[in-house]
Chain A
Amino acid sequence: MEKRSLVTIADHSREKIEYLIQMAQEFEKHPNRRLLEGRIVATLFFEPSTRTRLSFETAANRLGARVIGFADPKVTSGTKGETLKDTIMMVSNYADIIVMRHHLEGAARYASEIAPVPIVNAGDGANQHPSQTMLDLYSIYKTQGRLDNLDIFLVGDLKYGRTVHSMLTAMYHFSPTFHFIAPEELAMPEIYKQFCREHGIRYVEHTDFNADVISGADILYMTRVQRERFTDLMEYERVKDRYLLKLDMLSKARPNMKILHPLPRVNEIEYSIDENPHAYYFEQARNGLYARQALLCDALGITLDDIRNDKTIIE
């Protein structure tokens, strides 16, 4: 079987992204199957992440796989000084695929180079989180009917926000126009703006966040402005509420505009917006299930044709 690890979305072509979206669509139609019956999925969370782990484990369970692993690094031998390599080699003896989350950057790339089984990166420090990117892309595709030529507004912490950086590198295939809305201290880093210029991606920067600014958005992608990111806490107090999305700010929004948020939300979106038709963040989280089912199957060498001809659907 071909080994097909997923370390970063940047490794994927436009065609591959579209292919995975088609796979996710199939899983949305029929999420419960016995497609992975007899397979063992290991979820190794060297750093706790309940949301991502539950989503991957649900994806595996709904496809009939069995799941082993750990949710808390304190129970592993890593605390006894075992190397990542040793843990990965040991688990490779038991499982058909490893889903891993690690606090060190590049851990998934390294694991994919040494493991005899495919590795799926469930987040490596501030570096990559490709399954989040995949579910974001699927959510954009589902709500807009396309990925090409969209106006995507990224709001909040654009300096440290891993999800927004991955979004840039994944969307560059689809000629988007980005709008970066952030306080100066958390502005989009120069390296990503350079990436945009080199790849012909249009972008506009804003520090104001109001109804007029967001009136041109197809997608409004909110992220959390975290207190611990600020060196100057006065600055944090000054800007923290400026990037709160309020209901009245949606008055000029395009009818097709959807609000995305990787969650957890703290105070970025007013709760009164939850019932508004523009709100999409809870559906977005559900899309994560279908996106992760697609990623697991693809890593295990199961093709779109296999899924379309699948006779193991549980109605």
Chain B
Amino acid sequence: MKKQLLVAAIENGTVIDHIPAEKLFAVVNLLHLEDMKTAVTIGYNLQSQELGTKSIIKIADKFFTDEELNQLAVICPNLTLCIIRDYEIVEKRTVALPDDLRGIVKCANPKCITNNEPMLTHFHVHGQDRRALMCHYCNTIIPLDDVQMVEK
């Protein structure tokens, strides 16, 4: 039996699924969806077997770069992305936290060179559980849950 979609299908674009409900607005901000000129459909607090409640975003006619996907992995490590063309899923991918993040995360140390010089930040994933980032320059360690993004 085909289930009814809670959020309308799109012809072409990207569907970001399995966003933990409380992370929705962080994702919206990160991707600057408020500047989007095409249709954006957002589902909030939907039922999910895996997550309890989840959020979903469908963005028409938008395909993300790797750099944009990397940013998403910092906020939610287990997202699923579907690339839609002509109402069909042509590609399904999960985002994975890359070993290196350049120009994405802001260093929490105010005395870090990256906060005082026009330059890109650079972080390495830290710890066996990969739940923290270490600044390449000042060695400050930031838990992933406390990460702040660079202001663009």
Contacts and interface: CB of A to CB of B under 8 A. Distances in A.
B141 A106 contact: no
B111 interface: yes
Contact of A83 (B114, B117, B135, B141): B117
Nearest to B135: A106
A84 B111 CA distance: 14
Contacts of B109: 105
B141 A103 contact: no
Main secondary structure of the interface of A (DSSP, over half): mixed
Contacts of B139: 105-106, 127
Contact of A125 (B114, B118, B138): B138
Contacts of A104: 111-113, 116-117
Interface residues of A, number: 16
B136 A109 contact: yes
A110 B111 contact: no
B8 interface: no
Contacts of B136: 106, 109
A85 B141 contact: no
B138 A106 contact: yes
A84 B116 CA distance: 9
A127 B134 CA distance: 13
Interface string A110-141: 10000000000000111100000000000000
Contact of B141 (A102, A109, A110, A191): A191
B87 interface: no
Nearest to B115: A104
Interface string B22-34: 0000000000000
B6 interface: no
Contacts of B90: none
Nearest to A105: B138
Given A125-B138, A191-B141, A105 B113 contact: yes
Contacts of A9: none
Contacts of A103: 111
A84 B136 CA distance: 17
A85 B138 contact: no
Contacts of B117: 83-85, 104, 110
Contacts of B1: none
A105 B110 CA distance: 9
A105 B141 contact: no
Given A84-B117, A85-B119, A103-B111, 16 more contacts: A85-B118, A105-B109, A105-B112, A105-B113, A105-B137, A105-B138, A106-B136, A106-B138, A107-B113, A109-B136, A110-B114, A110-B119, A110-B137, A124-B113, A124-B138, A191-B141
Interface of B: 109, 111-114, 116-119, 135-141
Interface of A: 83-85, 102-107, 109-110, 124-127, 191
